Amino acid sequence: MNRPSPLLTITGVAKAYGSVVALEAVDMTVRHHEIHALLGANGAGKSTLVRILAGVHPADRGTLVVAGKTANFRTPVEAMRGGIATVFQDPALIRDLTIAQNLRLSQTNPDTFAQWLDEFDLGSLDRDRMVRNLPLDILRLVDLARALALNPKILLLDEITAALTADQAEKLFELLDRLKSDGCSVVLITHRLAEVMRICDTATILRDGRNVAELEVGGITQQELVHAMLGSPVDLAPDTPAGIATPTTADAEAVFAVEELASGETVRQVSFAVRRGEVLGLVALEGQGQERVFDILCGERRPSSGRILIDGSPCRFLSPADAVRQGVVLIPGDRLQALLPSLPVYQNLVVTLITRIRQWLGLPADERARAANAIDSLSIDTRAAAQVRRLSGGNQQKVAIGRWLVSGFRTLLCFDPTRGIDIQTKGEIYALLRKLAADGAAVLLYTSELAEIPLVCDRVLVMHNGLIVDEQVAARATEASLLTAAHGLV
């Protein structure tokens, strides 16, 4: 058969940032009419490759050929003219301008933009709204519509589904299928293998800055994809068996409880208790009030009514400092909120030891040792330890968790701790949460990945429209049962 020449050919692309080699040498081919997954563990070099294709950073070596023309882009504008449109992990929109102003700035045709936006039933979105006042899922769709309005030959999507709701993702997949038949190829970066299996034709797998495999998705299983990414088989389930609430947990005392918590219209009534030694899961579709619940529990916001109980006695948190002093600590959904990006790993880890004024005139004598302990027990990769901003996402998340291992805590609030994290680190985080619970902590885990619930949790609560609508035994919870409840269909 006479196959047409590929749409995009990448040959020997390499990139180093200072002494850190992000890409050793990558070859990749994207054909016409193809949805191509780009997969790899965190730090494998996916984001770097995206930046090179989008013209944000030039490659050090290697060549790009788009539709037969050599295209070593030096600026994002060159990449767009070359037919590549990119939707980055963080929306490329200016926060203090309106949507309309952002469109004018990027010289986007407003009519084409509106057509694409309407694909997601957002045609009525007010263009005069400030970007900073819009939720992340809308912004990603705005960014997507803007990219599509360029009428690209190749669409690059970096972790786009992470911020989308299930039905938005569904619409996106249908749209991508149509684009494919219209002749636009898509490069999709994702950690969700189910998506890859469902919509992608081909997958290129990166590991340590090299492409290690190109697979036809049709003929393989998820497990095989995982093997290709890791280079070795991995057991996702943590060592401590989860799922079955162990007898000690079932009648252990409630360490942390909330009673009839409410906050405006967003959180209407939420009550639950987390017991000692338990991992309590929380599941909800986007925007059901879960963010607000976590804001209240960690002391960032005060509830309009309801009580927080610690060991049975009511507490008021006026700030995160109050919560931390009661042993209630947060791993925020946006890990940048937990990191000091310019400071070294060990200073990030020990900042929890100097929170009180009486700890200000000096430093704990054992801080280095305690930091080293946390680094060891989390196996944080410290090759780029001088500045946390240089760590990979998974390692950054470990630092965010590690600062609480250093100080100790009684109740751990985790908001989607595995979002955008490679599969191996995910496994490590599951095992860690189980171990912390086994050591006597109470853990509340919100997650957007339903498959995590039976792996990690004892019980799971489902939240819908500001209410807890269901409770299930985690071991028996399935994605189907959780999703049904999350849609309020109980």
The residue ranges that bind another protein (CB under 8 A) are: 18, 298, 300, 319-321, 323-325, 329-330, 332, 336-343, 347, 351-355, 357, 359-363, 403, 407
Q: Please say which residue, 183 or 341, places its beta carbon nearer to another protein.
A: 341
Task: Report in angstroms how near the CB of residue 242 gets to another protein at its nearest.
Answer: 27
Task: Report in angstroms how near the CB of residue 200 gets to another protein at its nearest.
Answer: 36
Task: Report in angstroms how near the CB of residue 359 gets to another protein at its nearest.
Answer: 5
Task: Report in angstroms how near the CB of residue 21 gets to another protein at its nearest.
Answer: 16
Q: Please say which residue, 73 or 404, places its beta carbon nearer to another protein.
A: 404
Q: Please say which residue, 226 or 444, places its beta carbon nearer to another protein.
A: 444
Task: Report in angstroms how near the CB of residue 351 gets to another protein at its nearest.
Answer: 5
User: The tokens of 392 are what?
Assistant: 């990979």
Judge whether 29 and 3 are in contact, CB under 8 Å: no
Strands 69-70 and 61-66, sheet pairing = antiparallel
1 CB-near residues (< 8 Å, 6+ apart): none
Q: Please say which residue, 247 or 362, places its beta carbon nearer to another protein.
A: 362
When computed from its CA atoms, the radius of gyration of the chain, rounded to whole angstroms, is 23
User: The tokens of 203 are what?
Assistant: 């997958």
- The residues facing 258 across adjacent strands are 272, 308
Task: Report in angstroms how near the CB of residue 350 gets to another protein at its nearest.
Answer: 8
Nearest to 296 by CA among 287, 304, 286: 304
Could you give phi then psi for residue 275, rounded to 5 degrees?
-90, 160
Task: Report in angstroms how near the CB of residue 60 gets to another protein at its nearest.
Answer: 16
Judge whether 177 and 33 are in contact, CB under 8 Å: no
Q: Please say which residue, 81 or 316, places its beta carbon nearer to another protein.
A: 316
Task: Quote the CA–CA distance of 411 and 310 in Å, as a whole number.
Answer: 9
User: The tokens of 328 are what?
Assistant: 């209630």
Task: Report in angstroms how near the CB of residue 258 gets to another protein at its nearest.
Answer: 19
DSSP type of residue 3: P
User: The tokens of 438 are what?
Assistant: 């086994």
Task: Quote the CA–CA distance of 149 and 128 in Å, as a whole number.
Answer: 19
Q: Please say which residue, 307 or 325, places its beta carbon nearer to another protein.
A: 325
Q: Please say which residue, 353 or 460, places its beta carbon nearer to another protein.
A: 353
User: The tokens of 318 are what?
Assistant: 């006026």
User: The tokens of 174 are what?
Assistant: 């249908």
Could you give phi then psi for residue 419, rounded to 5 degrees?
-65, 130
User: The tokens of 423 are what?
Assistant: 């599969």
For the chain, give the number of residues: 490
Q: Please say which residue, 323 or 441, places its beta carbon nearer to another protein.
A: 323
